[in-house]
Amino acid sequence: MSAEVHTEADTRVAGAAEPTPLTPAERAEAERLSGAYTAHNPVGSGAYATVEDTPLVLGGHEFTSRFILGSGRYDLNLIKATIENAGTQIVTMALRRAQTNENSVLDYIPQGITLLPNTSGARTAEEAVRIARLAREVCQTDFVKVEIKREEKYLLPDNAETIKATEILANEGFVVMPYMFPDPLAAHDLEEAGAAAVMPLGAMIGSNKGVRMRDFIEVIIANAHVPVIVDAGIGRPSQACEAMEIGADAVMAYTAVASAGNIPLMARAFRDAIDAGRAAYLSGLGAVVEGHAVPSSPTTGYLR
């Protein structure tokens, strides 16, 4: 039996009209347009975009990760896997979790991670300073996140007391990273007091509402000469990405990761979202247009 030979004509649908052949001019135009598209979209050519970025610098220390991770409520056995999936280089903790006993969180944090003890529980500048000094001894680090909250319902930071504590601790050689209500004037005062970074809240602690204070944070970012780290209220990776897109230098998240069904996987999702937001910011986002549409395809050079 001879082998059957199929031609292009055999594969056409029965009854289909014959395609009209292109004229030489049309074919030349089609090839021109195809070549122009390929030149700007080199798929498969290996021409992948890279992010030209500078490190995050805090108190003279350089970090490549822009994800700061809290450690308050994790099962101790999950901390190592969570940190590794997050790709973080800075982990925060309350002093009470860093107790020097057999249940110390310090025993579960991988080597090479920078510890950022916080002054959680402080109601005044004096209390925050005392906690910071104790944390320096226990954690053997000059880094401290100043948190001063006078009330327990909304857990809003007291900016005035935070400025006082920041100045005292900065003069003692601490790398001070104050948690603050996003007031641009207070951010300036914290910078003048010696803060190594400012950490404005995106929304109330634990609310998972995202960057509700976006307008004020954008003003802080536009005027700051130190890194701006969005802290508190970030409940989804997409919200962390948004914070990075508007120009934040880093994001701190904790509740959203700690309350996830798969904690290490959520940590990885946050890492990827923060990286994506940073890349988007560096690439230059398109302007928002109001009141009319903008064509996404050329409006000239149509085939004739």
CATH code (residue 128): 3.20.20.70
Tell me the mean pLDDT in the region 280-285. 89
- In-domain check, residue 143: yes
Q: In this structure, are strands 175-180 and 61-63 parallel, antiparallel, or unpaired?
A: unpaired
pLDDT at 144 over 70: yes
Tell me the mean pLDDT in the region 104-115. 85
Q: Is 255 annotated as a binding residue?
A: yes
Count of domains for the chain: 1
- In-domain check, residue 9: no
pLDDT at 299 over 80: no
Paired residues of 118 in beta bridges: 94, 145
pLDDT at position 88, please?
A: 94
- In-domain check, residue 297: no
Q: Is 281 annotated as a binding residue?
A: no
Q: Which stretches within the chain are classed as H helix?
A: 24-40, 76-86, 125-139, 159-171, 184-193, 214-223, 237-245, 255-258, 263-283
Q: Is 15 annotated as a binding residue?
A: no
pLDDT digits (tens, 9 = 90+) for 255-267: 899 888 999 999 9
Tell me the mean pLDDT in the region 191-197. 98
pLDDT at 30 over 70: no
Contact 94, 103 (CB under 8 A): no
Q: How would residue 13 be classed by pLDDT, with cut points 50, 70 and 90?
A: very low
- In-domain check, residue 304: no
Please indicate whether residue 145 is annotated as part of the active site.
Answer: yes
- In-domain check, residue 205: yes
pLDDT at position 74, please?
A: 66
pLDDT at position 38, please?
A: 46
pLDDT at 174 over 70: yes
pTM for the structure as a whole = 0.78
- In-domain check, residue 93: yes
- In-domain check, residue 178: yes
Q: Is 254 annotated as a binding residue?
A: yes
Domain that holds residue 148: 56-283
Q: Is 124 annotated as a binding residue?
A: no
Catalytic entry in 145, 149, 164, 209: 145
Token pair for 296: 């996404």
- In-domain check, residue 250: yes
Tell me the mean pLDDT in the region 83-93. 92
pLDDT at 71 over 90: no
| Burial class, 154, CB count within 10 angstroms (exposed 0-12 / middle 13-18 / buried 19+) | exposed
Mean per-residue pLDDT over the chain, rounded: 85
